[in-house]
Amino acid sequence: MNVNHYVACPDPSLTLGIAPHCDPNVVTVLMDNGVRGLQARRRRGEGEGEGEGGGWVDVDPPPGALVVNFGHQMEAVTNGRVRAGEHRAVTSARAARTSLAAFVMPAMGYVVSPAPGVVAEGEALLFRSYTYQEFVSVYTAATGDRDAVLARFRNNNG
């Protein structure tokens, strides 16, 4: 579990609360103190483009709602059907924000691979098998670069 606290910043354009990333785990359940700050990245080609990926949209849940993020392991076990959501957190000029993130993750020694119950017969496996420990090591070294992380775990089958 992470507890994040973002102090109010007079000029939010000068800082980022949390840099863009996908969570390494399976799913993350997020709650916050009602101050906006979480942003999700559109997929490339979806809506207005910005830089390398799509633009950022504010995540604006109803009061008291929990936000669920899918992480890299969800993408791997579903063989790419459910994509990990890239997100970041920005600061507010007016109010401090506190968020609490509960991470659902496998044990470090758990072997992750596309789930047989999900993959259709004859379907190419997009990801090889790996331990969650190996994933976390690569993820930590790559500091949030989604493509660099995934490249290390993809099968070379097109």
The site for ligand AKG (CB under 6 A) is made up of: 2, 4, 18, 23, 30, 32, 38, 87, 89, 99, 101
Structure tokens at 57: 């949209």
Window of 16-24, 33-41, 44-52, 132-140 that interacts with Fe ion by CB under 5 A: 16-24
Judged by beta carbon distances under 5 to 8 A according to partner kind, the member of ligand AKG, Fe ion, none in contact with residue 38 is ligand AKG
Of 72 and 153, nearer to Fe ion (C-beta) is 72
Nearest in space to 66 (alpha carbons), one of 109, 104, 24: 104
Count of positions (residues) in the chain: 158
- Count of CB atoms situated within 10 Å of the CB of 156: 5
| Residue showing tokens 């906006």 | 36
Q: Tell me which of 12, 13, 19, 23 binds Fe ion, using CB under 5 A.
A: 23
Smallest distance from the beta carbon of 145 to ligand AKG, in angstroms?
15
Residues 40 and 52: their CA atoms lie apart, in Å, by: 14
